[in-house]
Amino acid sequence: MQEIYWPSVFFLLFSGISCAFAVGVLLSQNIVRMAFYLVLSLAATSGLFFLAGADFVGAMQLMIYVGGTLVLLIFGVMLTSQERFIEMHTWAGDWVKAFLAGGALLFILVSAAFSVPAWQSMDRAEAEAVVASKTVTPLGMGLLGVRVDKPEEPDAARRDGMAGYLFQFEIVSVHLLVVLIGAAYLARAKRKRDLPAVQSDGSQ
């Protein structure tokens, strides 16, 4: 028997948690529970990220997803959480149809995942030889337009593709700004018009 390879064990642990809670999200009828399961699932995913050597991204996953997006979602749940919407049953027919289609999709994806030889595991020695490195600095430089990770790429064609992500970063920034303004506008304008209805709802 070989020595236990701990990264694999942790992989199984994190992947098991995230998949299990993803199934929980899928199967749960209660919206509040769904939100809770999702938080756990996403948090477990960040563990997967750490295992894959993406420490900064894993941290971002925890902060933005778990700490930001999901809080937003839960706000939404709370704002709309009237009794009748907490649990909404799906028709049995829908379940059947969804599982048939989802099963097919899953089968295809999994078979595809195992059909590519390059995606198989490395040898243990090879894997242990890999030196972990901090990714924060290269990521920050990459977002500013400088790729420090592969400056000595011999292939000229590949070097062209190694430009930084400054431009995309700017676009995403502006996009984020627009989205925030738009979301605020969408949510606010309608509510104002339907203010009496909301008030009457509140009085109930």
Partner 1 sequence: MDPASNLPMLLMGAWLVPLVSFVLILFFGKHMGSHGKYAGHLATLAIVTSAVLSFTAMFGVWLPSHPLPGAAHHGEEHDGEHAEEGGNLHVSLGTSTAGLETQFTVHPVAFLADDSHAQDDSHEAPNDHAAGEAHGHDAHANNGAPISHSGEWYTICKFGSLKLTIGYYIDSLTVTMFCMVSLIASCVHFYAIGYMHDELHDFTDPEVTMRDGKKLKRPGRFYRFFQYLSLFCFSMFGIVIAGNLAMVFIFWELVGICSYFLIGFYIERKSASTAANKAFIVNRVGDFGMLIGMMALWSSLGTFNFGDTTDAEGKIVERGMFSQLHTEENGYRLQPTESMIAEEKRMCPAHSDSIIESSAESASSDVHAPPKNTAGQWLLFIGGVGVFCGCVGKSAQFPLHVWLPDAMEGPTPVSALVHSATMVAAGVYLVGRFFPVFTPEALLVIAYIGCITLLIAATIAITATDIKRVLAYSTVSQLGYMMLSLGLGGWVAGMFHLITHAFFKGLLFMCSGSVIHGVHTNDMTEMGGLRKKMPITAYTMLAGCLAIIGAGIPLSTIGFSGYYSKDAIIEQAFSFGSQNPGHVILQWAPVVGAFITAFYMFRLWYMTFAGEPRNQHRYDHAHESPKVMTVPLVVLAVFAIGIGWTLPGTNLKVTNLLEQSRPIGTLATSQGTLLPDLVIPDEHLSHEWEIKKPAGIAAFSTAAMGLLLATIIYLWKKLNPDELKQSFKPVHGFLWNKWWFDEIYGALIIAPTMLLARLVSRFDLGIIDAILHGSAAVCKGLSKVVYAVFDRTVVDGMVDGIAGVTWDLGLGLRKIQTGSLRQYIMFIVIGTVVLFIAISVVQNTGLVGSLGTDLTN
Partner 2 sequence: MQNLILANLLTEPIGVAHYVVVSAFMFTCGVLCMATKRNVLGVLMGVELVLNAASINLIAFGSPFLRNDANSLGLDGQLMTLFVIVLAAAEAAVALAIALNFYNNHDSIDVDRADELLG
Chain positions 134 to 153 lying near partner 2, rule: CB under 8 A, are: 135, 138-139, 142-143, 147, 149-150
Q: CB 45 → partner 2: shortest distance, Å?
A: 6
Query: Under the criterion CB under 8 A, does residue 92 sit at the interface with partner 1?
Result: no
33-36, long-range: CB within 8 Å, 24+ apart, which pairs? 35/70, 35/73, 35/74, 35/77
Q: What is the spatial distance between Cα 13 and Cα 84, in angstroms, rounded to a whole number?
A: 36
Closest CA to 138 of 152, 150, 123, 148: 148
Distances (CA, A) of 190 to 37, 78, 181: 31, 18, 14
Q: CB 203 → partner 2: shortest distance, Å?
A: 14
Q: CB 162 → partner 1: shortest distance, Å?
A: 19
Q: Which of 13, 40, 57, 146 binds partner 2 (CB under 8 A)?
A: 57
Is 10 buried (19+), middle (13-18) or exposed (0-12) by CB count in 10 A? Answer: middle
12-51: which residues touch partner 2 (CB under 8 A)?
12, 15, 18-19, 22-23, 25-26, 31, 34-35, 38, 41-42, 45, 48-49, 51
Q: CB 187 → partner 1: shortest distance, Å?
A: 19
Query: Under the criterion CB under 8 A, does residue 105 sit at the interface with partner 1?
Result: yes
Q: Which of 76, 83, 156, 203 binds partner 2 (CB under 8 A)?
A: 76
Query: Under the criterion CB under 8 A, does residue 203 sit at the interface with partner 2?
Result: no
Type of residue numbered 97: K
Q: Which of 16, 29, 94, 189 binds partner 1 (CB under 8 A)?
A: 94
What b-and-e string marks burial along 167-197, b requiring 16 or more CB atoms within 10 Å of the CB?
eeeeeeeeeeeeeeeeeeeeeeeeeeeeeee
**Length of the chain counted residue by residue:** 204
User: Quick one: what does residue 5 bind among partner 1, partner 2, none, with the CB cut-off 5 to 8 Å set by partner type?
Assistant: partner 2
Q: What is the spatial distance between Cα 185 and Cα 14, in angstroms, rounded to a whole number?
A: 39
Q: Which of 83, 119, 156, 157 binds partner 2 (CB under 8 A)?
A: 119
